[in-house]
Amino acid sequence: MGAGCCKEEAIDFDGEIELSHFHLLRSVGKGAFGKVRVVQHKRTKEIYALKYINKTKCIRMRAIENIIQERRLLEEVEFPLICNLRYAFQDDENLFMVLDLMLGGDLRFHLERAGPMKEEVVRFYVAELALALDALHSRRIIHRDLKPDNVLLDEHGHAHLTDFNIAVYYSPAKPLLSIAGSMAYMAPEVLLRKGYFESVDWWSLGVVMFELLFGKRPFRGKSNDLLKNSILRDPLPFPENAREILCERDIKKRLGCTPDGLNGFKKHPWFEGIEWDKLVTKEATPPFQPDSKRANFDATHELEELLMEDNPLKAKKRAQTTPETELSNVLIQSTVVAFFVLRMIQK
């Protein structure tokens, strides 16, 4: 008879949330600082996405401030069309964020798989994203990185805004100056460095709308200078019936930025037929439902994890500190302190 070798340790679900509270399931994605996998809470059986970020890598890539900001913003925002944060915790190696699971894949994946989308499909996504942007802006948050890669579909086909890595709080009294985001989606006012507010997100939404409709971006260039030139000077690309919706260089005329804000946007004839109230509650039926029998993500992440992972994710008790973990914890703590001191000074 074999010895009883593998009895699972009792889990204290009433204590602080930690990795051992979850079953680790398949990998669904990989970002610049970490990976994303499906997890199931062992007690509630709820399924989530777990985003985990290696602390050492994060320090090496000078990204701690972004990660802290992402977590902080997500803790304050809860909206049906945003990929919400449910729990956050850490162990010695990783920072963990448990998010709503989006099984429908991101819009970049769908663009690459099926090419340009039908107008009614794009209209639906643009309308949902407009509501998500408005929810952020009403909390004085600018996303700054809206692009198809950062829009995730749930299993029914509703669009959710995600990736708050470079999102920021803003004050109407203090324009932002820093250049942040993916250049192809950047508004002219970011590139001109004259200061900007939330109008930049409405511009990016226009670029996304164009890309979903036509399968290519409206402004292109082989170098950053050429791309910048294209964004600042090329003729505005929209077809007449939707031209002034977005990608309008004059901020005063850009929909979403006009004095009637989101209402101006909702009233535009291109959105005729959209039932805005039903969108917020997700009662509207999406015009495209992702295929639940196929993986809606790049399966190489999973393969890579199986074949190449030399340090697979495991639930570990937080250790007696080693010099290395001590160093990363000290670095993280001092960055957190510096971050909040800086914010207080800025206020």
Task: Give the H/E segment covering residue 344.
Answer: helix 323-346
Residue pair 17/69 in contact by the 8 Å Cβ criterion: no
Question: 145 an active-site residue?
Answer: yes
Residue 70 Cβ, how far from ligand ATP at the closest point, in Å? 7
Instruction: Determine if residue 222 is labeled as part of a ligand binding site.
Output: no
Residue 188 Cβ, how far from ligand ATP at the closest point, in Å? 24
**Contact positions with ligand ATP (CB under 6 A) in 98-137:** 99-102, 106
Residue 251 Cβ, how far from ligand ATP at the closest point, in Å? 27
- Using CB under 6 A as the binding rule, whether residue 31 contacts ligand ATP is answered as yes
CB of 48 or CB of 197, closer to ligand ATP: 48
CA distance 328 to 137: 34
CA distance 151 to 173: 30
Single out the catalytic residue among 145, 149, 154, 163: 145
- Which residue is it, tokens 């973990």? 325
The two counts, helices (H) then strands (E), for the chain are: 11, 9
CB of 31 or CB of 239, closer to ligand ATP: 31
CB of 164 or CB of 202, closer to ligand ATP: 164
CA distance 251 to 190: 12
CB of 89 or CB of 276, closer to ligand ATP: 89
**Contact positions with ligand ATP (CB under 6 A) in 310-339:** none
Residue 182 Cβ, how far from ligand ATP at the closest point, in Å? 10
| CA separation, residue 193 to residues 144, 179, 257 (Å) | 15, 8, 19
Helix 199-214 / helix 107-114 crossing angle, nearest 10 deg: 20
Q: What is the DSSP letter of 289?
A: -
- Which residue is it, tokens 């006009």? 258
Q: Supply the DSSP string of 197-210, one letter for each residue.
A: -THHHHHHHHHHHH
User: Taking contact as CB under 6 A, which single stretch among the options 8-16, 26-34, 225-233, 285-293 is the one that binds ligand ATP?
Assistant: 26-34
Q: Which of 11, 13, 32, 220 binds ligand ATP (CB under 6 A)?
A: 32
**Contact positions with ligand ATP (CB under 6 A) in 130-169:** 149, 152, 162-163, 165
Chain residues in the site for ligand ATP (CB under 6 A): 28-34, 36, 49, 51, 83, 99-102, 106, 149, 152, 162-163, 165, 297
The residues carrying an active-site annotation are 145
Q: Which residues are annotated as a binding site?
A: 51
